[in-house]
Amino acid sequence: MTATEYEANGPQLAATMRQLAVVMIILNINYGRLHCSYTMDIDEPHTYTPPKHYYQTSSFDDNEINDDGTAKSPLDRGPYFDISASRNVTALVGNTAYLNCRVRNLGNRTVSWIRHRDLHLLTVGKATYTSDQRYQSVHNPQLDDWSLKVLYPQQRDSGVYECQISTTPPVGYSMTLSVVEPVTSIVGGPDLYIDTGSTVNLTCIVQYLPEPPPLIQWTHNGMEINYDSPRGGVSVITEKGDITTSYLLIQRARSTDSGKYTCLPSMANPTTVHVHVLNGEHPAAIQHGRQIRSNCLLLTLLFLLLMAISPGHPGWYRTGNR
């Protein structure tokens, strides 16, 4: 740029530079505001801390530590939970369940039971605070136990229950109740494939009964099995205990042994298995046989349809050439 051009355009260029400087200053100020606001958002807490008694899983808390960092003696620390008992309780449908809560140094505090599902207050001290009278408080002063007794429990009663001490703030100890029904199952079901001449071993397992079932029956195609029949080679072995197991043994299996076998324990639901005695045929052939036959039928129908619409077939007409 020559001197003459600079003198002519100098004022305009200077004004433009001043405008650019103002824009840069405004941008820097706005950036600083945005940066400060962003930093403040990061520093602000966004988490919610629930009340202490909802997550306490220990029998100790901060109030049980002296100023010098040593643990307080049992007599000075106030009420606390004995956590030696199991936190998981399994009960059978209809059989009374007990959730045991052992509290030490309770003093003049009270023990309450709360159902977590709906935060419903069930008992306070020895009194029941719910219209459902199946829930009762049982106190054993010799053991410092405050148990929640549940009469005639159902599966809907399963869930978390909290034993709570009326300290400030309250502290709680949670336990899980699982109400189960007796279960009957046959190992390997619902279908078993056995080679001709082999031994059939049907194993029926019965669980979650208050006591072993007095009797377990086996039926074949709806008929009770006769272990003294002329066929012979049929026997049953039953082992009773917390889990009861019944073994049905059929030696030298033959085609007539195929069919539906049902295990019927007293005091529990029956269960069924289908036995297939094979004559040298692979189980996969049986499982896919119906599908193969269905595919063959579909191919045959498709072939007939193609033949019916082919030009050489008598039923095919040439429209426009008639």
Specify whether 162 is located in the same domain as 131.
yes
Residue 257 lies in a domain: yes
Residue 100 lies in a domain: yes
What does residue 143 show for φ and ψ, rounded to 5 degrees?
Answer: -105, 0
Specify whether 84 is located in the same domain as 176.
yes
What type of residue sits at position 167? Answer: T
* pLDDT tens-digit map of 219-268: 999 999 988 888 888 999 999 988 999 999 999 999 899 999 999 998 88
Take residue 205 and report the two structure tokens written for it.
């397992």
Specify whether 201 is located in the same domain as 271.
yes
Specify whether 160 is located in the same domain as 187.
no
DSSP codes joined into one string, 190-225: SEEEEETTSPEEEEEEEES-SS--S-EEEEETTEE-
Residue 303 lies in a domain: no
Residue with tokens 């200053």: 25
Specify whether 164 is located in the same domain as 105.
yes
What type of residue sits at position 258? Answer: S
Specify whether 142 is located in the same domain as 159.
yes
Specify whether 195 is located in the same domain as 227.
yes
Residue 121 lies in a domain: yes
The reported pLDDT for the residue numbered 289 is 43
Residue 293 lies in a domain: no
The reported pLDDT for the residue numbered 291 is 46
- Burial class for 11, CB neighbours closer than 10 Å (0-12, 13-18, 19+): exposed
Question: Could you tell me the residue range of the domain that residue 192 belongs to?
Answer: 183-278
Specify whether 188 is located in the same domain as 268.
yes
Residue 140 lies in a domain: yes
The reported pLDDT for the residue numbered 142 is 87
Specify whether 136 is located in the same domain as 195.
no
Length of the chain: 322
Specify whether 145 is located in the same domain as 176.
yes
| Number of separate domains in the chain | 2
Last residue of a domain, one of 145, 180, 215: 180
What three-state secondary structure class fits 265?
strand
Give how far Cα 116 sits from Cα of 69, 111, 174, 175, 261, Å: 34, 16, 9, 10, 44
Residue 301 lies in a domain: no
Last residue of a domain, one of 262, 278, 294: 278
Specify whether 192 is located in the same domain as 173.
no
45: Cβ contacts below 8 Å, ≥ 6 apart: none
Last residue of a domain, one of 159, 180, 201: 180
Residue 35 lies in a domain: no
Specify whether 188 is located in the same domain as 273.
yes
Q: Which residues of the chain have pLDDT under 50?
A: 6, 22-23, 27, 29-64, 72, 74-75, 285-294, 313, 315-322
Residue 168 sits in a domain whose CATH number is: 2.60.40.10
